[in-house]
A and B are shown apart, each in its own frame.
Chain A
Amino acid sequence: MNLNFKNIKKIRVEKPLQLDCGTVLTGFDIAYETFGNLNENKTNAILVFHALSGDQFVTETNTVTNKDGWWNLAVGKNKAIDTNKYFVICANVLGGCMGSTGPKEIDPSTGKPYGLNFPVVTIKDMVTAQIHLLDYFKIKKTLAVLGGSMGGMQALQFCTLFPDRTFAAIPIACAASHSAQNIAFNELARQAIMADPEWDNGNYLISKKIPRKGLAIARMAGHISYLSEQGLQNKFGRKLQEQTDVKFTFDADFEVESYLKYQGYSFVDRFDANSYLYITRAMDYFDLYKKNDGNLSKAFKDSKIKYCIISFSTDWLYPTAESKKIVIALNAIGAEVSFVEIITNNGHDSFLVHEPAFFNTLKGFIDSTYEEFKNEI
């Protein structure tokens, strides 16, 4: 696949960024994309945070890959998040590989790609970097911040760091900390990448190699965790791949095998292996409980933000119970919180596929919140 990085929009932030790990980034780039138009009072801005494998191209055409944006089904003209009405902003996360400062970009001190010299970043670092984008657009307060999976974690983190910069928040299919199982899956992915000789201790960009197999396996493992058992069964069952019987070899006999291979290897074309290491690490380190002595309520104390928490019944990566913990913590401080568990077979990936009940909830919450917000300003 030919990737075209020429049309990426970015802002350069020349202020130092103190990272959680102790390192200070003297300056950094934030690549972003916007959809729709910002209104005169700047009351219609929605900041979307992307997930692990996502990027700033929420909807319309991804100018880098020439494919559809990752949230085309939910965001766009006349969609649940209607870009005729709202101004949607999304940034590539710090540590990402779609133009924001990350391991793939050139380290100004060496003139070579950062690789593993890039500092380990956290969800907090990602969110702190993105606030500059709101400043750039002179948006004092967004209508909403939202995202699914790691995007939801960023939304939660945003509320704890910048409670006055958003009117509402919609954390979707996420948790306030990574579980042992979450960390285990991410470790499996990282080990797969690092076990690939082509990874070359993270120097593959300099040595002109590509750790295709490692990254593809990492993506395959991820993909299994994004789907529910029933969803996989319904989609593939034991169907064979263009053949009537098994071949007694280790080639892809079953449809599910070739599906995973396709998902794995097509991902390699657009994603950077080191970025995958850095972003999964950021997710693993995410823990709002620990930051607040085990009391999640403290994280959101004194916030006037309106929350809508959404989970999916068959999501075993970030199960409903994790969302409920957030709801309980918010209830305990009297926050304005709504909660919906969408009944579906689509597992963790539900927020990315056609899920009418989910879209209705999103639309209903955002539209009604906008009516309140614009009257308040």
Chain B
Amino acid sequence: MKFEDDILSGLIDMNSRVLDVGCGDGSLLLHLKKNKRVDGRGIEIDQNKVQESVSKGLAVIEGDAEKDLINYPDSSFDFAILNQSLQQFYDPRLVLNELLRIAKNAIVTIPNFGYWKVRLSLLFKGVMPVTKTLPNTWYNTPNLHMCTIKDFYELCSLDNIKIVKSISVSGGKISNIQRGNLEIKNFVSEIGIFLIKK
């Protein structure tokens, strides 16, 4: 997790206002507070994790992002972070647009369903893929709307969302994704990390 925290941290400006949506135990927020001196807030649905976060001195609200983001005023944050949970919402498109309403920038990470191991697994085994980034079986996965990096690009262009930075993570290595290498990155990336804005 530390590895990804560093990548996300690298995208965030010093002293900025940050909302971590689905902040878990608050480890990323704490990292950002220490290293980027951010004014951070979190939303988390799991009460035990909220308690852990609060014990770390973080301002975290127990709630469901899908219902509660509406309560935040426009442009109240510099960055909204959605770390590997976009696919878990009933309406991911709405959530994505809400993030960009309440924050000037959003950082979204997705487990890439276009990753070659996922594709091969489905192609040859004929069952829903179970991998390191998709560890659950089809009947108990929290993921409702899996997508690929390419899918994410298409949704962004549909909603006029600018992809400012796009990072591929694979085997512990990072590289940039561009329009020109989208097909190949969509094949080799385990995770996609995007800095987006409207």
Question: Which residues of A come within 8 Å of B, CB atoms?
Answer: 306, 308, 327-328, 331-332, 334, 336-343, 357, 360-361, 363-365, 367-369, 371-372
Most buried by A among B39, B41, B59: B59
Give the docked Cα–Cα distance between A339 and B23 (Å): 14
Contact B62 A341 (CB under 8 A): yes
Q: Say whether chain A's binding surface is mostly helix, strand, loop, or mixed.
A: helix
Contact A343 B47 (CB under 8 A): yes
A-B CB proximity, top 7 nearest:
A364-B55, A368-B57, A339-B61, A336-B59, A328-B71, A338-B54, A364-B54
Closest chain B CB from A321 CB (angstroms): 12
Contact A360 B51 (CB under 8 A): yes
Q: Say whether chain B's binding surface is mostly helix, strand, loop, or mixed.
A: mixed
Q: A368 is contacted by which of B50, B54, B71, B76 (Cβ under 8 Å)?
A: B54
Across-interface contacts of A327 in B (CB, < 8 A): 61
Give the docked Cα–Cα distance between A369 and B56 (Å): 9
Across-interface contacts of B58 in A (CB, < 8 A): 338
B90 at the interface (CB under 8 A from A): no
Give the docked Cα–Cα distance between A357 and B55 (Å): 12
For this complex, 14 residue pairs linking A to B, each with C-beta atoms less than 8 Å apart, are A331-B71, A331-B72, A331-B73, A331-B76, A337-B59, A339-B61, A340-B47, A361-B54, A364-B55, A365-B55, A367-B55, A368-B54, A368-B55, A372-B57
Closest chain A CB from B77 CB (angstroms): 9
Contact B59 A369 (CB under 8 A): no
Contact B57 A371 (CB under 8 A): yes
**Apart from A332-B72, A340-B54, A360-B51, what 20 extra A-B contacts exist at CB < 8 Å?**
A306-B59, A308-B54, A327-B61, A328-B71, A331-B41, A331-B61, A337-B61, A338-B50, A338-B54, A338-B59, A339-B50, A340-B47, A342-B47, A357-B47, A357-B51, A361-B51, A364-B51, A367-B55, A369-B57, A372-B57
B92 at the interface (CB under 8 A from A): no
Give the docked Cα–Cα distance between A308 and B17 (Å): 19
Across-interface contacts of B56 in A (CB, < 8 A): 364, 368
On whether A332 and B73 interact (CB within 8 A), knowing A338-B58, A339-B61, A372-B57, the answer reads yes
Closest chain B CB from A297 CB (angstroms): 9
Give the docked Cα–Cα distance between A342 and B47 (Å): 8
Contact A334 B76 (CB under 8 A): yes
Give the docked Cα–Cα distance between A327 and B60 (Å): 11
Across-interface contacts of A332 in B (CB, < 8 A): 71-73
Give the docked Cα–Cα distance between A336 and B39 (Å): 9
Across-interface contacts of A339 in B (CB, < 8 A): 50, 60-63
Across-interface contacts of A371 in B (CB, < 8 A): 57
On whether A365 and B71 interact (CB within 8 A), knowing A327-B61, A334-B17, the answer reads no
Q: Which residue of B lies closest to A334 (CB)?
A: B76
On whether A338 and B73 interact (CB within 8 A), knowing A357-B51, A365-B55, A367-B55, the answer reads no
List residues of B (38-53) whose CB comes within 8 Å of A's CBs: 39, 41, 47, 50-53
Closest chain B CB from A295 CB (angstroms): 13
Closest chain A CB from B65 CB (angstroms): 13
Across-interface contacts of B50 in A (CB, < 8 A): 338-340
Q: Which residue of B lies closest to A333 (CB)?
A: B73
Contact B60 A338 (CB under 8 A): yes
Q: Which residue of B lies closest to A372 (CB)?
A: B57
Q: Which residue of B lies closest to A368 (CB)?
A: B57
Closest chain B CB from A374 CB (angstroms): 12
